[in-house]
Structure 1
Amino acid sequence: MGLFSGFVVFVIIWWTVIFMVLPFGVRPEVDNVQPGHQVGAPSNPRLLRKVLITTAISIVLWVIINILITENVFSFRDWAATWTSSQQ
């Protein structure tokens, strides 16, 4: 996997993981709701902590995917060749 494609894969993994991590530990502020604010808005979203957790999980997943691709455990080229030959 090249540098650019590795970066693209990491960004895709990171964005997928951030949407899974964002709801963790969200507690709405029910006591002091001001006019114009959403009732379910979190009182303390702890975004920096969630970004760090997301980055750590994404690095682990990226390393696993990188090993699978570079060691030819899973090859998109072989899959595409098999699929196109079966279509003819």
Structure 2
Amino acid sequence: MSITGGIIIYANLWMIILFIVLPFGVRNQIDSPNFQKGTDPGAPVESKMKKKILITTLITTVIFSLIFALDKLDLFYIRKLLF
């Protein structure tokens, strides 16, 4: 795996995992005790993006390390998947 290929795989994994992590722990405005009229009931009260970005980075790093190790040990061939 080249450096460019590794960066692209990591970035793609990061975005996919971010979209998986985003809905966890979201409280809607309507579930909040201080719901204000005029706001969208489905809008989140707190997004907690820093925590979600950290979790996404940790999960992505673990998965990418596994893919990288399998590629270096010739147990998983990235090039066969790409071409």
The interval holding the TM-score normalised by the smaller chain is 0.7 to 0.9
Answering whether residue 12 of structure 2 is matched by residue 12 of structure 1, we say yes
- Tell me, in whole angstroms, the C-alpha distance in 1 between the residues paired with 2:25 and 2:56: 14
- Unaligned runs of 5+ residues in structure 2 are none
Letter in 2 for 1:32: F
Moved more, 51-60 or 65-74: 65-74
Answering whether residue 2 of structure 2 is matched by residue 2 of structure 1, we say yes
Please name the residue that 1:55 is paired with.
Answer: 57
Q: Map of 1:67-86 to 2, 5 A cutoff?
A: 67-77=69-79
- Secondary structure of 2:71's match? helix
Letter in 2 for 1:65: I
Q: CA RMSD in A?
A: 2.0
Letter in 1 for 2:68: N
User: TM-score, structure 2 length as denominator?
Assistant: 0.83
Residues paired across the two proteins, number? 80
In terms of Rg, which structure is larger? Answer: 1
- Tell me, in whole angstroms, the C-alpha distance in 2 between the residues paired with 1:45 and 1:4: 32
